[in-house]
Structure formats: C-alpha cells, structure tokens
Structure 1
Amino acid sequence: MIPFLPIVIVLGVLIIFSSFYTVKQQSAAILERFGRFNTISESGLRFKIPLIDKIAGRLSLKIQQLDVIIETKTLDDVFVKLKVSVQYKVISEKVYEAFYKLDYPHDQITSYVFDVVRAEVPKMKLDDVFVKKDDIALAVKAELNDAMSDYGFDIIKTLVTDIDPDGQVKEAMNRINASEREKVAAQYEGDAQRILIVERAKAEAESKRLQGQGIADQRREIARGLEESVEVLNQVGINSQEASALIVVTQHYDTLQSLGQETNSNLILLPNSPQAGSQMLNDMVASFTASNQIGEAMKNTKPKKKD
C-alpha cells in the first residue's frame, strides 16, 4: 500500500488544482454538469467540481468586427462590390442564447448582410449608391438587430467602408470627370483671355489718348515758341514775313543736321535746298491769304436779316 501513497497524493493535488479555473476580463465561461448547462461564470477565479463539471466553452464580450464583401448590380445595370463592416458583441445577459442557439454567428450575420444589400442596392443607380451608402448601412443594422437580438447578439454599428464598381465603369467615370474638368478649365482660360484682350484694348486706348494729348501739347508749345520768336525778331526790325522765312530756313538746317548725326539713317529729305524752304513758305502764305479772302467774300454775300 505504501508505494501507492505518492500516486494518491499526486492525484489529489491534480484534482484540487483542476477544481479551480479563471475567466478573463470581458469574457464569460459556460459551465456544464454531466453534459447539461449548469451556470455562466464571469471574470475571476472560479471553482468547479472535478470530473463532474466541465467548461463547455468561452465567449468574448468585447466588440468584434466582421467584414463582408458583396457583389451586386445597381439599377443602371452596373456591377459593384460593397464592403460592409459589422461591429457586434455578445449581450452579457444573453450569453446562454449566444452559445446554445447559434453555432456559427459569422455565417448568420453574413447571410443577413447579403440579403439586405442585394435588396437595397438594385433599387439605386450607381451615383446614388455612393451618396446613400449611410442609408444602406442603416438598413443592414436594422435588419441585423431584429434578427440577431434573439440569438444574444447586439449590433453596435454597420459601415459601408468600400464601394468598388467594375473596372471599365471606373475608367468611364474617370474619363467623364476628366472631360468635365477640362471643360471648366477651358471656360476659365477663355474668360481670362477675354479679360486680357479687353484690358489690353483699354490700355491701348489710353495710350492713344495720352499720345494725342502729348502731340497736341507739343504743337501748342511749338506754336507758342514760334510766336515768341516772331515777336523777338519784330523787335529788332524784321517784319513777320521775313521772320517766318528765317525760322523756316533755320528749322530746315536743324533737320538736316539731326539727320546727319544718324550714321545708319537711310532717310532723304526732299526738297533739301534753302530755296525750297522759301518756296514752301510763300505757298503757305498765299494759301492763308486766299483762305482769308474767300472767308470775307462769303461773309459779304450772306443775305441780311430784315427788321
């Protein structure tokens, strides 16, 4: 009997140690007795009867996420893949239902997501799927909550995290967007070009106006200078006609001198003799005299008003 004593002691120690078990935080353990449900153990150090009680399983009470990818068709006959993320957790008061009523919760949730998405998306056009993705997510959440609450699961949130149309459709959409952007860019460039032309025309008009004003001021100063020159020459005994002839000859030679200073100039002044300048002055005086005579004659021929 003595040799069996150590074995008995060892077995006793093993039995004692197997009587205790731990449950992690945010989890629950299902305890069965002789194959039948006994109790649900929460987090901490727990005791069970050796060889009689058995831990049938453990469930996490944390929020979990399941990603479901569904391929379906829209109202405008475009195939599209949607990725729906479902966040769910086991209700702590319904651990029994979550463990015993449903073997594969992931498969069950996936089936409901497929059913809702393939019922909602075919009612929408592709553009509406992008705009109303939150409505699709809410519809999935409502359906899952109604179906999964009886099995002890709470649907926290559903999100449509990705919408992936067929490759050819995406290329067509990109071409459409590129064309729209090019159209807008062309409109902006046209507006900018039009504004540039208008502003350039305004600047040119202002330049012409200032140029005309400068020419008028120049001629006014020239006339004033000629008038002063004639007055100075009259003071020294030179009459107006002689003074005018002297001024014309002086300007003629000044012009020839300025042309001679330009080494690369091809300009030729015709006529270029002093007699030609004098002849031009005589012609100008004769034309002024004739113009004055015609003006006086027209005044005299006008009919007088009767009183």
Structure 2
Amino acid sequence: MGTAFIILIVFGVFIFLSSFFTVKQQTSVIVERFGKFTSVRNSGLQLKIPIIDRIAGRVNLKIQQLDVLIETQTKDNVFIKMKVSVQFKVIQEHVYEAFYKLEYPHDQITAYVFDVVRAEVPKLILDDVFVRKDDIAIAVKRELNEAMTTYGYDIINTLVTDIDPDIQVKNAMNRINAAEREKTAAMFESEAQRIRIVAKAKAEAESKKLQGQGIADQRREIARGLVESVEVLNNVGINSQEASALIVITQHYDTLQAIGADTNSNLILLPNSPQAASDMLNSMVTSFSASNIIGEEMKRQPKKVKKTNNSDINYNPSDTSEPTETAQ
C-alpha cells in the first residue's frame, strides 16, 4: 500500500511537470494533439495537456545564412565558381507553413539559387559578371522571394560574395591588366618627355631672345660711347680718323689688362709686342687716309655715258639726281 502510494505521487508529479514547458526567445513551438496541429506557442512559459499534447517541433525565427557555391559558364565560355550568400528567416505569422509545407528549406533555397544564377550568368561575358554581380544578386533575391514567401520564408538579402574564374583565366587577365597599365605608363612618360622638351625649347628660345637683346643693347651703348668719345676728341683738335684709331688702341690696352688680371687665363693675344700698338695706330691712320683719298678721286671722275634706245644718258655714280638724255 505504501509503495503504490509513492508510485502514484511520483506519477502525479511527473504528469504535473510535463504539463509545463518553456519556449526560448526568437523561437516558436508547434504543438500537436494526437498527431494533429493544435497551436503555435511563442517565447515564455507554456502549458499543454500531458500525454495528449506533444511538442511536434521548434522553428527558429532568427535570421539565418546559407552559402551556395555554384559553378557555371559565362557567355565567352569561361567557367567560374560563384559563391552566393542568402540571408533569410521564417515569418512569425507563417510558422505553420514553414513547418508543414517545406521539409528541407536549405535544399529548396539552394535549388532556386542554382536555377537563377545559371540562367543569368550565361548571358554575360566574364568582365560583365564582375561589374553586374549586384544585378545577379537582385535577380536571385526576387526569384527566391516569389517562391519562398508561399512557404513562410522571407528573403532578407542575397549577396554575391565571391567570383573565382579558372586559374589560367586569372593569369591571362592579370597579364592583360599588366600590359594595359604598362601601356598607360608609357603614354604618360611620353607626354611628360614631350612637355619637358617643349619647356626646354621655350626656355632656350627665351634665353636666346634675351641674350640677343642684351648684345644689341650692349652694342648700341658701345656705339653711343664711341660717338661721344669721337666728339670729345674732335673738340680738342683731333680729327675723326685719329680719334677712331686712338679708341681702338685704348680698347686694345683694356683687353690686355683684362687678360692679365685673370691668373687662370691661357689666352694669348697676337700681335702682343711693345710696337704692336704703334704699328696698329699707324696702319689705321694710313688706311683711313687712303680711303679718304680714294673717295675724293671717285668724286672727281667724269660722268659716264650709258646708251639706251639710241640715246646717251649722262650718268655720274656720285650724282644722286636723275640722269639726262643727250640725242645723238
């Protein structure tokens, strides 16, 4: 009698305790009675009829991620491996559909991802696959939403996280990119060289221009100085020929002095004897005098006659007036 009572108490406690169960946060519990759906229980302490009711399953309401690895072919016949990450969750109001209508949701999502990717990628060449990967992800999400909403699943986001072409294709792409960058670098280097050459030519031209202006100004000032020197010498009774010769001799001695002042100079000015200045002065005075005599003789020469159309033309080289004709 005592043992049976104890057994009864233990059984009663077991029945009592089995009437309560807890549900975690972001989880829903499916309760069945004799194998038939009864209710969906959410987080917290829940009560059920012992032995009659049972927990058929638990549904995770958190956002889940499924990574799908797909091998497909592009329009330009390049095989690539593409990784698509799908983020999804069960809609809390559709826990019944998610639990009873779809047994293997991961397999179903994977099948749809394969179908969409292998329909979209063959339309694109390899370069466009990298550029338009977001468009592929949007197409996958749109197709999954249309298919999985019926089963109580919401597709949060789809991401193309990796595009991996064949190793030989990657090596070829790297060589193409390297060659393209070398070509661009060569173009920039050529342009820089051209700019340097043009700038150097402009600088040289400007330098030559300024140098020419400086030489012209220097010669102009030298000429003005010579004119003033001749005028000063003429005022003291020295004629122009003697003044010019004296100026040349002075410049000769100035040059000798400048050469002697430079200790590192190896220039030799010829002639450079003590009589050189005197000889130079005499030669210049003689040449100036001879040139004056020749000029006077040319002025005293008779007028030449030039025949044109049976008429004589009196022509004097030193006469600037119009020639006159004399009839024969």
TM-score, normalised to structure 1, is 0.89
Aligned to 1:85: 85
Relative distance call for 1:286 and 1:113 in structure 2 (3 A) is: farther
Q: Is the 8 A contact 2:31 2:55 kept in 1?
A: yes
Aligned to 2:305: none
C-alpha separation in 2, matches of 1:294 and 1:35? 151
1:98-125 superposed Cα distances (whole Å, 9 cap, x missing partner): 1122221111111121122112212221
Aligned to 1:242: 242
Q: Which has the higher helix share?
A: 1
Aligned to 2:66: 66
Paired residue secondary structure (2:77) = coil
Q: Is the 8 A contact 2:241 2:285 kept in 1?
A: no
Aligned to 1:285: 288
Relative distance call for 1:251 and 1:128 in structure 2 (3 A) is: same
C-alpha separation in 2, matches of 1:56 and 1:34? 11
Does residue 21 (structure 1) correspond to residue 21 (structure 2)? The answer is yes
- Over the aligned positions, Cα root-mean-square deviation in angstroms equals 2.7
Q: CA deviation at 1:7?
A: 4.2
Aligned to 1:193: 193
Q: Which amino acid aligns with 2:122?
A: P
Aligned to 2:269: 269
C-alpha separation in 2, matches of 1:165 and 1:211? 66
Does residue 120 (structure 1) correspond to residue 124 (structure 2)? The answer is no
Relative distance call for 1:196 and 1:128 in structure 2 (3 A) is: same
Of the structure 1 ranges 156-165 and 292-301, higher mean CA displacement relative to structure 2 is found in 292-301
Relative distance call for 1:279 and 1:270 in structure 2 (3 A) is: farther
Aligned to 1:178: 178
Paired residue secondary structure (1:238) = coil
Q: Is the 8 A contact 2:245 2:281 kept in 1?
A: yes
Paired residue secondary structure (1:62) = coil
Of the structure 1 ranges 63-72 and 246-255, higher mean CA displacement relative to structure 2 is found in 246-255
Q: CA deviation at 1:292?
A: 6.5
Q: CA deviation at 1:217?
A: 1.1
Q: Which amino acid aligns with 2:280?
A: G
C-alpha separation in 2, matches of 1:144 and 1:2? 64
Q: Which amino acid aligns with 1:264?
A: N
How many residues get paired?
Answer: 306
Aligned to 1:259: 259
C-alpha separation in 1, matches of 2:80 and 2:220? 83
Q: Which amino acid aligns with 2:206?
A: E
Of the structure 1 ranges 139-148 and 275-284, higher mean CA displacement relative to structure 2 is found in 275-284
C-alpha separation in 2, matches of 1:278 and 1:96? 130
Paired residue secondary structure (1:300) = coil
Flag structure 2 segments of 5+ consecutive residues without an equivalent.
Answer: 300-315
Relative distance call for 1:222 and 1:80 in structure 2 (3 A) is: same
Flag structure 1 segments of 5+ consecutive residues without an equivalent.
Answer: none
Relative distance call for 1:279 and 1:75 in structure 2 (3 A) is: farther
Q: Is the 8 A contact 1:252 1:277 kept in 2?
A: no
C-alpha separation in 2, matches of 1:134 and 1:291? 102
Q: CA deviation at 1:154?
A: 2.2
Q: Is the 8 A contact 2:73 2:121 kept in 1?
A: yes
Paired residue secondary structure (1:77) = coil
TM-score, normalised to structure 2, is 0.83
Aligned identity (percent) is 67
Q: Which amino acid aligns with 2:281?
A: S
Of the structure 1 ranges 80-89 and 141-150, higher mean CA displacement relative to structure 2 is found in 141-150
Relative distance call for 1:205 and 1:14 in structure 2 (3 A) is: same
Relative distance call for 1:303 and 1:102 in structure 2 (3 A) is: same
Q: CA deviation at 1:156?
A: 2.6
1:118-161 superposed Cα distances (whole Å, 9 cap, x missing partner): 12212221112122223322322233233323322222322222
C-alpha separation in 1, matches of 2:45 and 2:82? 44
Of the structure 1 ranges 125-134 and 237-246, higher mean CA displacement relative to structure 2 is found in 237-246
Q: Which amino acid aligns with 1:40?
A: V
Q: Which amino acid aligns with 2:288?
A: V
